[in-house]
Amino acid sequence: MARSVWKGPFVDAYVLKKAEKAREGTRNEVIKIWSRRSTILPQFVGLTFGVYNGKKHIPVNVTEDMIGQKFGEYSPTRTYYGHAADKKAKKK
Amino acid sequence: MARIAGVNIPTAKRVPIALTYITGIGPAIAHQICEATKIDESRRVNDLSDAEVLAIREYIDANLTVEGDLRRETQMNIKRLMDLGCYRGLRHRRNLPVRGQRTHTNARTRKGPAKAIAGKKK
């Protein structure tokens, strides 16, 4: 179910603070965040966020299309290298 | 034979049924078209007058996206997700279920026919 409109988009406060600081400082630096649950707001466009995936911060360059989605969507948490067993079975 | 929305030639079926042969028109929208053009739903396509067929055609042109346009729109939406690099896009790229379904078993619609794993059983 979608979130009620009257609540407004959810963003962790520290993400907002960091983003504001980065926009004043014009230098395009990766903003490290752990908050994968935060919504991507219009004022984040053009900034680069390092979204934590449980292991490291994945750099995400925010574009206009991403607005309204969550940061977590851009930082995959699972690694999949295929099934090693398949190859073993073939060799036998 | 009536040509509505490009190539579609529905048969001697009832109008709302025949309209569902067009991609993008299901029972609900077919019903809506019949209401808007004031065509009785029990009538067949082959006894519609030219004016009525024209009315249906105009209604579809004005209000709905169907057939090729609809397919293109869906494809564009999927392509947009894939280009974004978001989770849903990644799932589309790998042809896996997009909406969080399990993949341990099932998911055959997306994955295709099951591939036998050689030497799985001893």
pLDDT tens string for chain B (122 positions)? 667 777 777 778 888 888 888 888 899 999 999 998 888 888 888 888 888 888 888 888 888 888 888 999 999 999 999 988 889 999 999 899 999 999 888 889 988 888 777 666 65
Out of A2-11, A25-34, B18-27, which region has the weakest mean confidence (pLDDT)?
A25-34
- Classify each residue of B50-71 as buried b or exposed e, where b means 16 or more C-beta atoms within 10 Å of its C-beta: eebbebbeebbeeebebbeeee
Indicate the SS3 state at residue B41: coil
* A chain contacts of residue B85, beta-carbon cutoff 8 Å: 74
Residues for chain B: how many in total? 122
- Here the ipTM equals 0.73
B85–A65 C-beta distance less than 8 A = no
pLDDT one-digit tens code per residue, A43-65? 888 888 999 999 999 998 888 88
List phi, psi (to 5°) of A53: -115, 20
pLDDT at A84: 67
Helix axes B27-37, B50-63, angle to 10 degrees: 120
- Predicted structure pTM score: 0.74
Whether pLDDT at A92 is above 60: no
Taking CB atoms and an 8 Å cutoff, what residues of chain B touch A74? 84-87
A86 min Cα distance to partner chain B (Å): 7
> Do B119 and A92 lie within an 8 Å CB cutoff?
yes
Residue A65 contacts B, CB cutoff 8 Å: yes
For residue A66, give the chain B residue with the closest CA.
B84
Nearest to B90 among A63, A65, A76 (CB): A76
Which contiguous run of DSSP H or E holds residue A32?
Answer: strand A30-33
**Which position has the higher pLDDT, B80 or A80?**
B80
- Does the pLDDT value for residue A22 go beyond 70? yes
| DSSP reduced 3-state for A37 | coil
Cα separation of the two ends of chain B: 61
